Amino acid sequence: MGFSDTRFDVNLSILFTELPLLERPAAAAAAGFTAVELWWPWVESPAPEQAQLSALRDALRTAGTQLVGLNFYAGQLPGPDRGALSIPGAESDRFRDNVEVAAEFARSVGCTALNALYGNRVDGVDPAVQDELALENLVLAARAAHRVGAVLLVEALNAPESPHCPIVSAPKAIEVVDRVNAATGLGNARFLMDLYHLSMNGEDLHEVIDRYTGKTGHVQIADNPGRGYPGTGGLDFDDLLGRLKKAGYDGWVGLEYKPGDDPSADAFEWLPRSQRSAHH
């Protein structure tokens, strides 16, 4: 596969999870990668001890890996309960508690993309109330991201795996992006284009790329079916990544796939080592 112009990063919350968190940056570096991303790694703690934050910062630096994407607190990931910011009560409180912590951590390591996952619909709560809460919290997050020089990412998940999530199409995610930008006037809310989720939704990936690349701040990939590495399913990544490039996308492409039964280090054979580093 010819991806010589694509800048890849590895999501250390789905790959190398057989290792403790602090050992994963070095493992990614050993596999040839210089850039990584993370879901919020402390699922029970929106505001962990400074020592934990410092230890992760040190692990990233020691490995020589750049953190290029970070999720705000989103509950337990992976799982159908993902997302927090639109869930009234304790979950949205945790999200708000996390906003400044995550933004400051991103600033301290030079991370310029922060992903805010919408929450599931909740029984007994008017969807309009949830959407109002979501906008309030996304505005808060967008302002925090702006203060640290980052974009705010809004991601569409997929309906089969996240049936209670209301953001399960590219147009819906774009609608939220536009709403946040209109509310803040900052223009730093962007679409996170996850080709696996969009494929699972049955969307026309060519059309999504052609229509929305201009509003896209980050891309993630996994093959479909199975959410494995490229070549394990039916998606043509040569075609898709080439189309993204033609549409003007020159940002990061996150490898957010499952390694399968083998060690994570064996899940990159589809990508020549010479093309794994951001400096290639």
Annotated active-site positions, please?
Answer: 155, 256
Provide the sign of the torsion angle of the four alpha carbons 27, 31, 33, 34, taken in this order: positive
The C-alpha angle with vertex 272 and arms to 269 and 273, in degrees rounded to 5, equals 100
Contact 155, 173 (CB under 8 A): yes
Residues 77, 90: Cα–Cα separation, whole Å = 17
